[in-house]
Each structure stands twice: as C-alpha cells, then as structure tokens.
Amino acid sequence: MSIQEQDMQLVAASVLEEAKKCGATAAEVSLSKGKGLSVDVRMGEVETLEYHRDQGLGITVYVGNKKGVASTGDLSKQAIQDTVEAACRIAKYTSEDKCAGLADAELMATEIPDLDLYHPWDISAEEAIELAKNCEQAARDVSPLITNADGTGVSTYEGNRIYANTHGFMGQNQGTRHSLSCTMVAEDDGAMQRDYWYTVSRLSKELEDAESVGRKASENALKRLHGRQIKTTKAPALYVPSLAGGFVGHFTSAISGGALYRKASFLLDSLGEKVFPEFVHLHEKPFIPQALGSASYDSEGVALREKNLIHNGVIESYLLGSYSARQLGMQTTANAGGTHNLILESTGESYEDLLQKMGTGFLVTELIGSSVNGMTGDYSRGASGFWVENGEIQFPVEEVTVAGNLRDMFNNIIAVGTDVDYRGSTRTGSILLEEVTIAGQ
C-alpha cells in the first residue's frame, strides 16, 4: 500500500471522528483522488491537450433522522474541519426523515476481492497526440468523400476512491479507464453526414487499434449518405448493441427505487410479474475481473452479489438503495449508486441472423432526443438507421421517429444477438422487436 493510500484512509477515519465530535450520531464519507490526460486533434492539428488532477471529499452526517451533506475539493485540515461542521449545521436544521440513515450494519461488505481494475497507461502527451493523428489519418484515407473531421480523442484516467462510515466499514478501490474515439464527416453531392466509433477499456492493450477505430468511423459516416424518410408504418425494429444497452436502461430506470417510491414508474408493483418473453434473462454480475462496471460494494458499503433482475421473463428484483428500500418497506438490493455489469443473455443469433429473422424492417443505429414517459411507458424518439428488406440493407433512413409503449416493446422482444457490446456496464447484443411505429412521411 502506498503512502498516499494510507493517507487517504487516515483522512477518512479522521473525518468520521470529527463528525462524531460535532454531534453526529452516524456519518459516511467519500474521498477520491484521480489524474488523467486527454488529447483532441482535428484535421491533423492539436485542438486540446489537458492534464488533469482532481480530488474531493463528500461527508454526510445524521443527527438522529436528520441529514446534512457537504463537500469540498480542498483537502487541507482546516477545509475538512469546516466541511464537517457545515454538514452538522445543516443536519440540525433539516426535517426529520424516518428513512434517512446509513445502510444496515450487517449488510456491509466484509470481503473485498481484487477485481483487477487498476491498469495505468504510461503514455506521454506526444504519444497520445501521435496516436490520435494516426487514427484520424486512417479515417481520412478511407475515401475522398471523407471531407472533414469532428474530432479524434485519446484519454486516460486513473482514480483512487475510499468510502467509509461509522459502522466501521472502510472500502478502497483503484481503477483505470482509457479510450480512443473518432468522429468523421462524409460529403457527396450536397449530402453530408457525420458518424463515429470509439473503444474503451480499463487496459490500454485491450483498446482497438487506432487505424481500426478511424476506419469504422469513416465507414459509418459513408453508409449514412443520402438518407431518406420512409412513409409512416408499423414494422419490426432491430436496435444495434450500442442502443440496446440504452433500451435496457429504460427498464432499469423503471424498477429503480426513486421512481418506485415516488410512484413515477409504469412498473409499479411489478415484482414477480411476467413483463418480457420467457427467454429473456437479465443478470447483475458485479465481480467480472477488469470489467467497466465491476465492484465489491455499492456506494453505501453494502456487499454486492450476483442476482437476476429478469428470469424467464419475470421481474425478480428491483434496484434499491437503503433509503428507497425503507420507503417501500423492503431491504436494499445493494444498488445505491447504480448497477454493476448487467448481462442480457443472448438467444444465440448473430447480427446477420437477426437481419434475416427481421426480414423487412428498420435497423436502428442512432436515437435522438429522449421523449420517454416514465409513468406511462410511452416511448417516442427521433431515429436514423437503415431500411432492410429480405434480410438485406437497402438504403439509409433519417428523420423518422420510433414510437410505442415500453410494456408492449418489452413483451415484443423476439431475439437478442450474440454481437455483444463490451464498452459499458450493460452487456447486450442487438435487440429485435416484433413491431414498432415508425413515423415518417
């Protein structure tokens, strides 16, 4: 353990002691430090080069059932003391809330396995600039129709975070995140389109190579040239993996504690209800080594565990922190702060298989805006993509709207592909829906 790590633990412990001296009956503290490098180039020139260091401390104190929160970016002894005192003053003036407080002590994580999340990238600014330039050049070499660039970026970040509370829990984790992205512009006969590609990983060696990222960005932009509207119709829709994760996100938002206890969800009282076809299985697997969503405990120190959210189409768990759980008369599901590696199981078909299975329909590759009503499930989003007939892409589509109700859309899932996107904390392949309304001409 480095001196810095030891110092952070000592600071966290001293903050909790200071909170007790100020009259707090319970307290929790989050302390973080991080550093990174980011580079952006455009048309062969460096647009931005940033080194950044950040640090912060957040303290939440409870005086009985009264809560006070304060934070600071200044980690000097006086600033920390002032922050703790501010939180305690706030708590004394807030209203009683019987659901406020730390998560239950017996739920704290007692084992914190090494999930192999820390892999620093020893890359200099000069090397990052060269990598970005190579990526953009590969993109520009794809076609003379690639006439402009909208930015190519390289970034690396490493962070160290501690969470501790007055139950005696103290957890510390280090993690890294590296990425390379490219956005290019294609132009032909007055038509212009932009598109992108990116790669992200905790390990720099797992990133896609720069030339591949650049080529994909340009190829995506070229495919979209001369898009057209289609007539308003109802047809099957295939969401590519990068959008399928967001589609799953509409479900997780609807079963999150905040939406449920506020009665702002179309999935109220849905625990044990069959909402999806029987083949749909959605799991949370927080302990995958090196994965972007991996962790041992949630933001309240509660031990994580593998669990089913959907099994055989049935909702088996909500997503609750301790506060929302108390509001609902339930127990936390260790999801304070969000989910950790959601896996939507594939039904075994490849992307090409799904196109064939769809036959004629809409391949959705981009969504614009977010008109989704969480209370009713009504869904309406601007979209672009490709029209498909007999399993073959025919032409690009733009300026249409995909609409439906999420309950119907969930129930109308036909298949989930094997083309899994690993670039986020939700892992899913393409999702094929039996029917949506496509509003166009």
Question: Is the domain of 278 the same as that of 177?
Answer: no
Question: Is the domain of 315 the same as that of 333?
Answer: yes
**What is 346-413 written as a DSSP string?**
--SB-HHHHHHHH-SEEEEEEEEEEEE-TTT-EEEEEEEEEEEETTEEEEEEEEEEEEEEHHHHHHTE
Other CB atoms closer than 10 Å to residue 297's CB: what's the count? 25
Question: Is the domain of 219 the same as that of 234?
Answer: no
> What integer is the mean pLDDT of 319-335?
98
The band of 404, judged by pLDDT with boundaries at 50, 70 and 90, is very high
Give the end of a domain, one of 223, 250, 272.
223
The band of 3, judged by pLDDT with boundaries at 50, 70 and 90, is very low
Portion of the chain with pLDDT greater than 90, in percent: 97
pLDDT at res. 369 = 84
Give the end of a domain, one of 197, 223, 249.
223
Question: Is the domain of 166 the same as that of 266?
Answer: no
The band of 370, judged by pLDDT with boundaries at 50, 70 and 90, is confident
Question: Is the domain of 255 the same as that of 309?
Answer: yes
Residue 319 bridge partners (DSSP): 256
The band of 154, judged by pLDDT with boundaries at 50, 70 and 90, is very high
79-136: pLDDT as tens digits: 999 999 999 999 999 999 999 999 999 999 999 999 999 999 999 999 999 999 999 9
Using a cut of 0.85, tell me whether the model's pTM lies above it: yes
35-71: pLDDT as tens digits: 999 999 999 999 999 999 999 999 999 999 999 999 9
pLDDT at res. 4 = 61
Range of the domain at 435: 227-441
The band of 1, judged by pLDDT with boundaries at 50, 70 and 90, is very low
Question: Is the domain of 236 the same as that of 348?
Answer: yes
Question: Is the domain of 194 the same as that of 174?
Answer: yes
Question: Is the domain of 299 the same as that of 397?
Answer: yes
Give the end of a domain, one of 199, 223, 247.
223
Residue 178 bridge partners (DSSP): 156, 201
Give residue 214's region: left, alpha or beta (phi > 0; psi -120 to 50): alpha
Question: Is the domain of 56 the same as that of 96?
Answer: yes
> What integer is the mean pLDDT of 388-401?
97
Question: Is the domain of 200 the same as that of 234?
Answer: no
Question: Is the domain of 150 the same as that of 296?
Answer: no
CATH number of the domain within which 151 lies: 3.30.2290.10
Question: Is the domain of 189 the same as that of 245?
Answer: no
Q: What's the 3-state SS for 213-276? A: HHHHHHHHHHHCCCCECCCCEEEEEEECHHHHHHHHHHHHHHCEHHHHHCCCCCCCCCCCCECC
> What integer is the mean pLDDT of 185-201?
96
Measured CA to CA, the distance from residue 28 to residue 91 in angstroms comes to 13
Task: Give me the number of domains the chain comprises.
Answer: 2
